[in-house]
Structure 1
Amino acid sequence: MRGLALALSWLTVLPVRTGAPDARTAAAAIRWAPLVGGLLGAAAGGIVLGLTALGVVPLVAGLLAVGFLALATRGMHLDGLADTADGLGCYGPPERALAVMRDGGAGPFGVVALVVVLGVQAAALATVPDPLLVALAAAAGRAGFAWVCRRGVPAARPGGLGATVAGSQPWWVPALWWTALAGAGFALAGVRGVLAVVLGAGLVALLSWHTARRFGGMTGDVLGAATELATTVALVLLTTGR
């Protein structure tokens, strides 16, 4: 349970006290991340459902739910998305890209990535006011953490979250999560639910491969980018045909 407590402390604003984590607890926290994501997604879906029931315009409700998720996660995943986009968009060797990512400001690639992802998420949430489906998408996005942290992928730089969890996960951990979530997706939304998980997983795999080549390994920013992109793809697939 220390791993779950650490996952809640890392991935939410909940005041969970864990102390300094060791490598084993940090690895366990990554494995618990999809459950934490599912809880956050269910809360966001509940916000949309409640606000639309009160007569709030669906898109406004979706935007407010996106804002809730940003606050509930300290904006950490969004910051990772913006930094990763800026790092991938710059020229030069891996050291140059990592330096750009360490810069506190958001560059043009980061801003565009944030605008597109947040806009798509808000529109999708407005279309799918179902807490279970939103929970599925958010959990599938966090399952990508374990793939980015799989064994064989080193940390791109010393220190930070990336170095703490790099190479900590066997490949079958994300595979099991994605398989279980695909089954849940089929139960909730049929083939669309399966595709939402599978395409999100494919995007995470592609991002992890490319960033490992570009940066020389993984970083904590890549974790944030992976979850935001996979969650967005899953939400889009779940809105298709509705």
Structure 2
Amino acid sequence: MPDEPSRVSGARAAWRLAVGTFTVFPVRPVDVDRAVAGRAMSLAPFVGVLLGLAAAVVLEAAGAVSGSPLLGAVLAVGALAWLTRALHLDGLADLADGLGSGKPADGALDVMKRSDIGPFGVVTLVIVLLVQVAVLSRDDTAAWVALVAAVATGRLAVTWACREGVPAARPTGLGALVAGTVRRGAAITVTLATAAVVVVLALVAAAGPSLLDYCWPFDLRSTFGYTSYSGVAPYSELTYGYSVDAGPRPAGLLHHLSDDPYLITAAGLLLAMAAGLGAAALLRRRAVRRLGGVTGDVLGALVETATTVTLLAAVVLV
């Protein structure tokens, strides 16, 4: 017999709903109402931080073991898709097909409900995944914290999409459950808290050591006998017994304003998060006007849009 919904406190129920909605990890069923749903959507960015850290470990570890930043980026993006059951990518593809169909709201919603993926969805997925991999494959010690910030921002976009005044496109489904459940004050508070977490991680990244130096019991670089791409001399690594020097990485825009790595990393990531949220807000506005409100697919598309734009902005700024 399926598990009966458990009666737990509102905070625990909200956390279980947030984890169950945004990750692949199973949770015990809980009684859910719109109050619990609102709390869960407010907790979404913190689930994003945990997902981002898990993907960042894959990024750093795979890059250190293989000596290839590109392979690390591919595996990190793949791990993130697995940890989220690829639901957000599916939502992005469905929304692209729905908006690209040119049909009225009802027809576009019907297109989004189909199990197959059309040409608009395929092209959008390919572009988004390629952009994410390309950005994360850069030879930079700040790549891991940019990934964490981007993943958290993607879920923060959902928090804002569920604020009061944003309608649901359908009377049923995830969108109907969570639309309009988050108060503006709660969204602002969660945004500030998420930004504070990112700033702390940015300061850690700016200190120089790789993420693995904080969470790994041994040095993968010395173990496998080469200098990692995230070591002291970026863009220079020892591969198969000879040195490959690709030269210095082009400085981000903020490097022209300051030489302080702590200020550059923290300010750059905060600006990148703002850019991601702005892009998600524009897409949300388009979806509401076109479809009449938000759906689960729209929320998934907002996650991937905010994540990708945040990564793009980070590589330009930091």
Q: Aligned partners of 1:173, 1:56: CA distance in 2, in Å?
A: 43
Identity of aligned residues (%): 45
Corresponding position of 1:49: 60
Q: Aligned partners of 1:112, 1:185: CA distance in 2, in Å?
A: 31
Deviation at 1:18, TM superposition (A): 2.7
Deviates more, 1:49-58 or 1:139-148: 49-58
Aligned length: 242
Give deviations 1:5-48, integer Å, cap 9, x for gaps.
11111111112113342222111111111011111111111101
Aligned mate of 1:148, from 161, 166, 170: 161
1:24-35 counterparts in 2 under 5 A?
A: 24-35=35-46
Asked whether the equivalents of residues 45 and 125 of structure 1 are also in contact (C-alpha less than 8 Å), the reply is no
Aligned CA distance change for structure 1 residues 172 and 207 (closer, same or farther; 3 Å): farther
Deviation at 1:55, TM superposition (A): 2.3
Aligned mate of 2:107, from 96, 112, 123: 96
Asked whether the equivalents of residues 157 and 303 of structure 2 are also in contact (C-alpha less than 8 Å), the reply is yes
Asked whether the equivalents of residues 62 and 75 of structure 2 are also in contact (C-alpha less than 8 Å), the reply is no
Q: Aligned partners of 1:70, 1:215: CA distance in 2, in Å?
A: 26
Q: Which has the higher helix share?
A: 1
Report SS of the residue matched to 1:87: helix
Q: Aligned partners of 2:311, 2:317: CA distance in 1, in Å?
A: 12
Give deviations 1:172-207, integer Å, cap 9, x for gaps.
333333334445555521321121111111111111
Corresponding position of 2:178: 165
Aligned mate of 2:124, from 92, 113, 119: 113
TM superposition score normalised by structure 1:
0.93
- Structure 1 unaligned regions, length at least 5: none
Report SS of the residue matched to 1:240: helix
- AA matched with 2:173: G
Q: Aligned partners of 1:201, 1:58: CA distance in 2, in Å?
A: 27
Q: Aligned partners of 2:109, 2:158: CA distance in 1, in Å?
A: 20
Corresponding position of 1:133: 146
Corresponding position of 1:190: 266
Q: Aligned partners of 2:310, 2:276: CA distance in 1, in Å?
A: 6
Corresponding position of 1:231: 307
Report SS of the residue matched to 1:172: helix
1:66-77 counterparts in 2 under 5 A?
A: 66-77=77-88
Q: Aligned partners of 1:55, 1:71: CA distance in 2, in Å?
A: 21
Q: Aligned partners of 2:185, 2:276: CA distance in 1, in Å?
A: 17
Corresponding position of 1:62: 73
Deviates more, 1:102-111 or 1:232-241: 232-241
Report SS of the residue matched to 2:25: coil
Coordinate RMSD, CA, aligned: 1.7
Deviation at 1:230, TM superposition (A): 0.5
Deviates more, 1:153-162 or 1:183-192: 183-192
Q: Aligned partners of 1:133, 1:153: CA distance in 2, in Å?
A: 29
Corresponding position of 2:30: 19
Q: Aligned partners of 2:126, 2:180: CA distance in 1, in Å?
A: 31
Deviation at 1:149, TM superposition (A): 1.1
Asked whether the equivalents of residues 48 and 62 of structure 1 are also in contact (C-alpha less than 8 Å), the reply is yes
Give deviations 1:54-108, integer Å, cap 9, x for gaps.
1242112111111111111111100110011111111121001101101111111
Corresponding position of 2:134: 123
TM superposition score normalised by structure 2:
0.72
- AA matched with 1:226: L
